[in-house]
Each structure stands twice: as C-alpha cells, then as structure tokens.
Structure 1
Amino acid sequence: MSQSKKLIVPKSRDFGWELKPITSTYFKVLRNRSNQICVVLEHSLLRGVTTEMIYWWFKHFTKLQVKLIDIPGYEGQKVPGYLLWHPSDHVSAELKGKLGTEGTARAGAKIHIKEVMQYKKYQLKYPVDQELSIFYHERDGWGMGKKVPFIGPMMSLRISYKDVYEDNKIIGVHYHYEVVAGSHKQNIFAKKITQKIVGNFDTEFWEAWLTHNTIEVGVFENFLPALFEQRHDINNLTYSKKMNTITESAASQSGHNKALFEERVKGYSESRDAFQYQGVTKKSFL
C-alpha cells in the first residue's frame, strides 16, 4: 500500500510459535457495482484472548517496549511491542496528532505504519509506509484509513471483535476484518486518484496481505495474554517462550462464522458505496 521501497526490516524473530495458515480463515476480494475493491476476512477464533486485551493493545501498542528473554538473536534486548505482532514483516508504528492520555491511541489521531507484506517470500516487493487517520477506536473495534480532499474516503480498514462465551466463560474472540479501497464516485478526477492509489493491488498483493494478516492476528494468542497480565507495570514488560500458553495446534481451525462472512460478501457485492456499507465509524455489527 505504498510506493516506498527504502524500509529497513529488522531481522526475523523466532518465538517458537505455530503461525496460523490461511486455511484458518474465510477470505474474499471482490469489486462492487462502483468498481471499488472490497475485502472480507473472517478469522478463526482467537483462543485465550479477550476483547479487553485487544482494546488495550490497540490503545498502547505503538508505545510499548518489551524485553525479550530467550528469543534467538534478541536475548535480553528491549524491542518495540510492534515486533511481537509479526515475527518477520513489521518495522515500526508511530502515533501522531490528537492523542489520548500519555500518548495513547484514540479516534482522531494518525498512525504511521511501516511494514512489508510476506517479507520472507517477496522481500520488499510489497512495502507499506503509510500515515493513516484513526477513524474508530472503541471496545468493539478499530478503524483507520485515508480521505482525499474533494473526493472523500479512499481507503478504509475496519476491524470488529467480540468475546465468545462457552458455559458463561470467555473462550476467545471473534475477529473480523474488512477493507475498502477506491472511490465510488464516477467522475474522471475520482477515477484517476483511485487508479493511482489502488492500481497496484493485484491478486498476488492480496495473497501476500492475507498471509501477513492471518499471521499477525493469529499470534495475538501467543503473546497478548502475557503482556496484558503485566499491564500495571507497562514500562517493564517482558516476554519469554514459556509465557505462551497455547498448546493445541491451529491447523484444523477455520473462519469463525461462515454465514456472517457470506452475508458480508453479498452486501459488498451489491453495494454502490462500499464505505457506507462498511460503516467504519459505526459500532460493530457483530
């Protein structure tokens, strides 16, 4: 989602985690009636995670520093928390603008993200070096994107999440991701801007994005509960392999709610303004 190819990617981190495969998701990229790109990604259940943890993470993650105890090549080093969120693709994330208490994230702020899509396979072919506006940050979701003067929304990424219960106990989180790119407006100026911003989003890019996002979301299971337990001593966070409590393989997992996935795909395919259907600033539909 960027033209920049000057990113310096940190050496990969071997956390010993099983990374979730793309077969653990339901995924679709389509064009709606206005030729906007619409992406629907239904993740598998995030085991052992709660929405309270995810809300805390989005609020603080750009400021977190974590001491890695026994990660090869990083023993005893403090690294940005962002590097735990993906073992090979993440570079940096920085908040700007109207921030919350102690520099935390909030709607109205901006976030500058640097990362690459599926670095181990494509190296720097698909870099991301983007400043995005945070449109939504509540306990049920996160939304960010770009607006273009005189045109309006041009890109919007919306995450929704909800606790899943079994026997009155939270067993995990339902995590659902949607992306809209391109204007629904049909004038020549809008079409040219759309082509410039999203013209390189081909099939291979979305395959790389899917793999990246499946891993990124899946590893919440491995590290987030451990960091959240230390939230009251946020300046002295540590992580070691023994803190990962996941013991069951994710290989047999699939997207959490297939009916919802199919409903959202149909809604986008029939839409004329995908941003309106997405509702990036509205409460989650989950």
Structure 2
Amino acid sequence: MKTALLPARPYSWAMKPLTSAQTTFTILPYGSFELRIEHDLIRNVTPDMLLWWFQHIGDTMEHEGATYPRYLIWHPIDHIHWELTRPAPGGGAGVGAHFRIVEAFGGNMDQLVDSTEEVIKLDRNGITLVVRILGKEVYRLAHQFIPVEGGTLYRSRMQVGRESLLGQWLINPIMHQFVFTKAMGQAWLKHNVEEVGNFESFLPELYHTYGILGFSPCLEGFTG
C-alpha cells in the first residue's frame, strides 16, 4: 500500500498558479460537490498527445538523469502512486480499465486521496473516470480536450457525491466528512491546475521520443 508521501522529484519549470485558470466550486441541490476548471491553454500539446499519455500513463520516462514512473513526474510533489488494478477488456489502460490513484494535494497527507476508479471514456476528446458503490455512482471526473491553434483547451469537471435523496441523506454526508471534504475540494482545484499545466513542460518532448518513434518502456502497476 503506497500511502506515504514520496520525496519530491526534481523539476525545472514553474507550476501554473490557480489564478491561471477559471475555477468554480458549487454545492448542488442534493448536496454533492461540483468542481469545474477551465484551464489556461496547454501550449504545444495536442489531444492526440493527451490520449497517448493516458494510454501509457503506467510506463516510465527519463527525467533529470534518472528513470521514473511517468505518474510521479506529472505532479512531482503531490503524486504518490498509480496502478492498473484491472486492464481494459482489450488490455492496457483503456475504457473499462480500473486505475488506482494515490496523491496528496499540496504535498499534505491530510489531503490524501487513495481511490480506484473505472475509465468509462478515453479518446482524443477526453477521459472520464467514475467510482461506484453498490452499483451507485458516487464520483465522476471528466476532462475534455479541445484542439485550438497553439495547443489544447482542457476543461475539467468533478462531481463528488450523488444527486438523489439517497445521496442527500446518506452518501454525500459520509463522503464529504470522511472521503473528500470541502478543504480537499479547494486543494484539488490548485492541484489539478498545476498537474494539467505541467503537461506543456514535458509531454511534447516525451511524445516525440516515445509516442512518434514508437518506443515505450512499460512498468505495469509500478511501485513508485
């Protein structure tokens, strides 16, 4: 179980500030949280690069003279572990796969998330992850990729909880007290702005080296 904060990985870029994006945090009528981000332009990154990234997120990469799991470079402070707990029906990290994601927003273990999520959409238009409990969806994170001149517009929407009477009286109070608090929601907005902004600092070169040339060292279910 990878639940301890790791030493920060070296990185040479400045992470984008929260103010670089447009963000909202709304409590919906039945009490679930809705968080939206319209990110700053992801420069020199295409939707095809983003699709390739998520399809190969479990691989390794060379960075600052060492080899790392790619997930640990995507956010070199907050990310702790990524694992493919169930491959897609066709294999790998596609639709139907389950990702285990461990991260601590702001490098703060009080803001720890350790979640296993199902991929229900992954294509050049975006990725969507969900969590279900007893068949009921209680979490959804959708990222949309829109190609524009100079890069990609990246829009994110997270919903934590369920918009129903069951959500209002049982699921949402439990989730928002013990799993994903309001404070964690505010911290996630900053984390995701940084995470998505980091793409433009490493993904074009990584894609040119491994995606276009076709070489992709793999570390399935890595233990970083």
Counterparts of residues 85-234 of structure 1 (less than 5 Å): 85-99=74-88, 103-119=91-107, 123-149=108-134, 152-165=136-149, 171-187=150-166, 191-200=169-178, 201-230=180-209, 231=211, 232-234=214-216
CA separation in 2, counterparts of 1:147 and 1:96?
Answer: 15
Contact kept in structure 1, 2:31 and 2:168, CA below 8 Å: no
Shift of 1:181: 1.5
SS of equivalent to 1:133? strand
The 4+ residue runs of structure 1 with deviation greater than 6 A are none
CA separation in 1, counterparts of 2:215 and 2:148?
Answer: 28
Q: Does 1:42 align with 2:38?
A: yes
Q: Does 1:65 align with 2:43?
A: no
Q: Deviations over 1:132-166 (max 9, x none)?
A: 1111111101000211225x21110000011102x
Q: What is the root-mean-square deviation in Å for CA atoms of aligned residues?
A: 2.0
Residue in 1 aligned with 2:217?
A: 235
1:161 to 1:226, Cα distance in 2 relative to 1, 3 A: same
Q: Deviations over 1:255-274 (max 9, x none)?
A: xxxxxxxxxxxxxxxxxxxx
Q: Which amino acid aligns with 2:61?
A: V
Contact kept in structure 2, 1:51 and 1:140, CA below 8 Å: yes
Query: Unpaired runs of 5+ in structure 2?
Result: 219-224
Residue in 1 aligned with 2:71?
A: 82
Contact kept in structure 1, 2:176 and 2:182, CA below 8 Å: no
Shift of 1:194: 2.3
CA separation in 2, counterparts of 1:54 and 1:88?
Answer: 21
Q: Which amino acid aligns with 2:111?
A: Y
Residue in 2 aligned with 1:267?
A: none
1:47 to 1:26, Cα distance in 2 relative to 1, 3 A: same
Higher fraction of strand: 2
Q: Deviations over 1:201-235 (max 9, x none)?
A: 44432221111111100010000001101121112
1:100 to 1:162, Cα distance in 2 relative to 1, 3 A: farther
CA separation in 2, counterparts of 1:20 and 1:100?
Answer: 36
Identity of aligned residues (%): 28
CA separation in 1, counterparts of 2:217 and 2:86?
Answer: 23
Contact kept in structure 1, 2:49 and 2:207, CA below 8 Å: yes
Shift of 1:100: 5.8
Query: Unpaired runs of 5+ in structure 1?
Result: 166-170, 237-286
Contact kept in structure 2, 1:183 and 1:191, CA below 8 Å: no
Q: Does 1:7 align with 2:9?
A: no
1:26 to 1:143, Cα distance in 2 relative to 1, 3 A: same
1:139 to 1:100, Cα distance in 2 relative to 1, 3 A: farther
Q: Deviations over 1:13-48 (max 9, x none)?
A: 221101100010111111222222111111000011
CA separation in 2, counterparts of 1:185 and 1:204?
Answer: 23
Length, aligned pairs only? 214
SS of equivalent to 1:235? coil
SS of equivalent to 2:156? strand
